[in-house]
Chains A and B, each alone.
Chain A
Amino acid sequence: MATPDIETPATAAGTRAGTGTVFTRFIGLATIVGMVALGVFGLLLSPADVQQSDSVRILYIHVGTVWVAYVAFAFTALASAAYLWKRTTSLAWDRFAGASAEIGVLFMALTLLAGSLWGRLSWGKFWVWDARVTSTAFMFVTYVGYLAVRGLGGSHHQRARRSAVVALLAVLEIPLVHFSVKLWRGLHQDSSVADRTNVNLHGLMLFSLFISVIAFTLLYVWLMMHRQRVLAMQDAIDNTGLDYALQQRRDEGDL
């Protein structure tokens, strides 16, 4: 006997599906494979460096995480600009910016941590007031501030406007951080792979770095898809709550 197709709160809500889809599962699986490969190549197969010895293995994490942080902050700025531009304005861009900034902050924190441990082995100190290190820490604090601005309250569009302005200012720090090793002479080494004609890594070391960048990029894509959907659902629940409160006030007025 066929079951009547009655919509109950549980079926309407769709309790089974979260933020995952076939595509996110595919990206998730590829990310896990990439991370396992990074662990195998970074810890076991890659040789020790002539100058840095085994501490070079920390750089496979450090470079991959800072790459994702740069990409995340750049996309935060692009999405913020798309929100502020009248032709493309949409809260979806704001959520994209917010999700990307959160992920960027996490990866920037991991960059600083890995850099600190590497610095202890290479420079003898966990922290030095080098131009690159200091400007990176400053950028991290700026984006923590960006996330704080997002949480200040107000309507979704108020949140989007003020945080978009902050994001467009904060992104100016990326070139400052990246070129700080050239602008000010400090302890931090220059890029290992500056461009195609200036590659200081070879063989398995270069391949391990390549795997790191690919794996962390896949991770960024996976996290972005899930985090954006969570933010979209949070906004939808906020709107539902607002509609409910407005209806209650109208009902009170009718009494």
Chain B
Amino acid sequence: MEDLGFILATYIVTFGSVAAFAFAIVRRGRRLAAQLPAKDKPWT
């Protein structure tokens, strides 16, 4: 495969950034959920 470095960099940076963002959101959600009563979390 030609230009493998550029292609792999695109996939790794994209998937890595999205995974880091998703992880940060879930972690923040868990931290905030621990501080609130159930009435403030209607999805639970």
List residues of A whose CB falls within 8 A of some B CB: 12-15, 17-21, 35, 39, 42-43, 48, 53-55, 57-58, 61-62, 65, 106, 109-110, 113-114, 117-118, 120-121, 219, 222-223, 226-227, 229-230, 232-234, 236-237, 240
Contacts and interface: CB of A to CB of B under 8 A. Distances in A.
A233 B40 contact: yes
A65 to B, nearest CB: 7
Contacts of A19: 25-26, 29-30, 33, 43
Contacts of A113: 10, 13-14
A18 B37 contact: no
A35 B22 CA distance: 14
B7 to A, nearest CB: 5
A54 B1 contact: yes
B7 A233 contact: no
B33 A12 contact: no
Interface of B: 1-4, 6-7, 9-11, 13-15, 17-18, 21-22, 25-26, 28-30, 32-38, 40-41, 43-44
Nearest to B13: A113
Given A17-B44, A18-B26, A230-B29, A219 B18 contact: yes
A15 B33 contact: yes
Contact of A110 (B13, B29, B34): B13
Contacts of A39: 11, 15
A222 B37 CA distance: 24
